[in-house]
Each structure stands twice: as structure tokens, then as C-alpha cells.
Structure 1
């Protein structure tokens, strides 16, 4: 999550005739933003501190994003959109295992492990942030996972009447709870065992 994906390097440009925004500055600001967000949290995050960490002026931020909320949503959305589509391995088990492996890698990222719970907690207090993140991040990621399940239906591995919404909740919930909430260690075979349990529940 806290890398600077292509979308984060290319925020909405100013109208014709405005200054050209340098990608290197945008990348530095994005990296500083994620580091500051992980350390201070959204509520205490200061755009002035982000600018200082990035070695840029505060005006450089406002030329790219008009507010802290806009900056947060834009950069978080860029990461969500940049996330790879779950691979089509040819089997639902292979797809789910690959999906869980990707989620686990993201949740174990030192910055993401702090940022994601903080943004979720802040969203409960900030309806505007919640709506923006749900629309931009949650819906983007769920649409990618939905396609993975639809492929399984097309292959005949899942019945046509599979409850996809419930299946998506099952896919996301247990691993997030263990890694992001409990911060519990996992055995080498944990993702394989979790995959088998999830498949049994989804197909039931």
C-alpha cells in the first residue's frame, strides 16, 4: 500500500496554463504522506509535516490535492486500483490461495498494518471519509474478488446461486481479523488450511 503507484504519481492536473506538476515531487509527497499517516494517524496528520518530510513546500501539496481528505482518498484509491487482479489459476482453490496470499502480504506490510486499522477507525467517526473510502477502495477491491468467484461459477466449481456477497465477507474477514486485529502469528500452512475452510463454507 505505501508504495507510490502510477496513479499516485499522476494526480488530477491543473487547468491548461497551470504549472506542470513534477512526478518526482508527487512521489516524494506520497511516500511522506504514508509514512506520516502510519506514525501519526489520520486525525493528527498534518499536511505541513508531510510537506516537510517530503522536502517540499506546503503549496506543492495544495497544487495537487485541495485538502487532507482529498489527498487521503486519492492516494488510497491509487493503491487500491493498482493492486493486482487475483490470478486465474484455473481452479477456485488456487485462486483463493493466491488471493489470500496477496492480502496477507499487504497486511504484513509495516506501514499498511498501521494505516489500514487507523483509517477504518477514523471512518467510523468521519462519515465523509468513510463514504469516500468505501466507494473508492472497498468497492474497487470487492469488484476484483467478485470476478474471481464468478469465474468459479463459470467453471462449474460453485453453483450458480452462490451468495457472492456472503462469500466476499468470508474471504476478507478471518485473515484481516488474525493479522490486523489480533496481530497473531501464522503457521507456514495457515493459508492453505484457511483456504480449505473457506471453500467448504462458500460451497455449503
Structure 2
């Protein structure tokens, strides 16, 4: 599958200023049309999208500055930003649950096939990969990074740690299973491998006892 060249510079989705109110139903039509083309392995072009969605070229151009950002938005349909983690209990259990048992693995309305399609398209197009990171993935990291930062502030975790780097370390083992090894998290052996790796990393992150 190929993605059409950008309509304009890649960036965040366009937010309308003063004027006519945005018709949210049109957003859904456009995204549904893009997803239909993606699922069928077709190129997502403005011409194809107008034909598939029934929405005008002008409506598409008003909502997304490029086809790349539109495809990124389509691939994220079904994903949400998770809520902040509870900080009044066991921090380790909260963080591990978010990574191994939470939205990073299984999402209602977001199939494994869609996840793999996202990986295929992003790896084939660095511009799409960066657009998807900037507009969607980076936002979903926030709750877990804030939980790690809280652990540092409370003296549970080492003071020199960088929350973003810790997230990469902890989430990396999960993505390795799914993307590199081709495993499924429903396999108990895979889940145990991720838990063991998490425990190794977490022990290294803990503040040294007095």
C-alpha cells in the first residue's frame, strides 16, 4: 500500500477558527473512508477518499493539512488517552498493570490487525511515523510518565531517572514481543516473560534503601 504525497506541510490536525461550526459527522465520514481504503490495501488519495466518503475535497482540506496526518488520525480510531494512574496504592502494580494489562496491549475497538497495519504503514513511511507519534502516541504516554515522575518525587524511584526514558524501557519489552517476535499477549509464557523483564527493570529503577 502507498500513501499519497502530502497536500501541504505535515503537522497537527487543523483546528477551525471563527466561522461556520465544524460538522463532526463529516470527520467520522472522512476517517471511515480512509480506514476502508487502508483495510483494503488501497492508496489513500484525495480522489479515492472523496469517492469513498462522499465528502468534498474542500471539506477534507479544511480538516487535515496533509494526507499523512489524516492517515495517522484514521489509524488511531478506537484508541483513547488512558486516565491517570492511581498514586495512593502500590506504584509498581499500577505501572505494570498499565503496561501489561492495560490499553497498551488490548483495546476495545482496536484489533490486532489494525495494530499490525499501523506498524506496517508507519515503518514504510517515516513521515507518517513521526506524524502519528506527534499527534497521538505521545499523548497516551502522559499518564504513565506522570506516575513515574510521582514515584521519583516520593522517593520510591531513583532521583536521577527520566520518566520518558523509563517508559521506553518498560514498554519496549512488550512491543518486542508483538512486533519483533510476533507473539500474542494472550500466551501465558509471553505474559510471564514481560512480567519478568518488568521486574528486572523496576528493581534497577528503585531508590536505594537507606
TM-score by structure 1 length?
Answer: 0.70
Aligned to 1:12: 15
Say if 2:85 and 2:143, in contact at 8 Å, map to a contact too.
no
Superposed CA offset, 1:21-64 (max 9, x none): 322121121122234234437xx322322333323333331232
* 2:150 partner SS: helix
Change (3 A) 1:193 1:181: closer
Cα shift readout 1:102-158 (whole Å, capped 9, x = no counterpart): 1111475432321133123311xx4xx454444333432333321121222244432
User: Is 1:92 aligned to 2:95, yes or no?
Assistant: no
Q: For residue 29 of structure 1, give the secondary structure of its aligned residue in structure 2.
A: helix
Q: For the structure 1 residues 150 and 195, does the alpha-carbon distance in structure 2 shift closer, same or farther, using more than 3 Å as the test?
A: farther
User: Which residue of structure 1 aligns with residue 37 of structure 2?
Assistant: 36
> Do the aligned partners of residues 91 and 195 (structure 1) sit closer, same or farther apart at CA in structure 2, a change above 3 Å counting?
farther
* Distance change in 2, residues 1:169/1:50 (3 Å): same
Q: Counting helix residues as a fraction of each chain, which structure ranks higher?
A: 1
Q: Could you list the runs of 4 or more consecutive aligned residues of structure 1 that deviate by over 6 angstroms after TM superposition?
A: 76-80
Q: Deviations over 1:61-107 (max 9, x none)?
A: 12322421342455668877x41135226223322232222111147
2:9 corresponds to: none
Q: Which residue of 2 aligns with 1:6?
A: none
Q: Is the 8 A contact 1:86 1:144 kept in 2?
A: yes
Larger relative CO (CA 8 A, sep 6+): 1 or 2? 1
Find the aligned partners of 1:185 and 1:118 in 2 and give their Cα distance: 20
Match of 1:201 in 2: 201
1:163-183 C-alpha deviation (Å, 9 max, x unpaired): 534422222212112223433
Task: Give the number of aligned pairs.
Answer: 186
Q: What is the alpha-carbon distance in structure 2 between the residues aligned to residue 36 and residue 144 of structure 1?
A: 33
| Equivalence for 1:23 | 24
Segments of structure 1 that go 5 or more residues without pairing to the other structure are 1-9
* Structure 2 counterpart of 1:140: 139
What corresponds to 1:119 in structure 2? Answer: 122
Within 2, Cα distance between the matches of 1:131 and 1:137? 10
TM-score scaled to structure 2, two decimals? 0.69
Q: Structure 1 CA distance, aligned partners of 2:27 and 2:137?
A: 24
- Residues 146 and 164, structure 1, Cα contact 8 Å, conserved in 2: yes
The whole-number CA distance in structure 1 between the counterparts of 2:65 and 2:165 is: 37
In structure 2, relative to structure 1, the CA distance for the partners of 1:109 and 1:72 (3 Å cut) is same
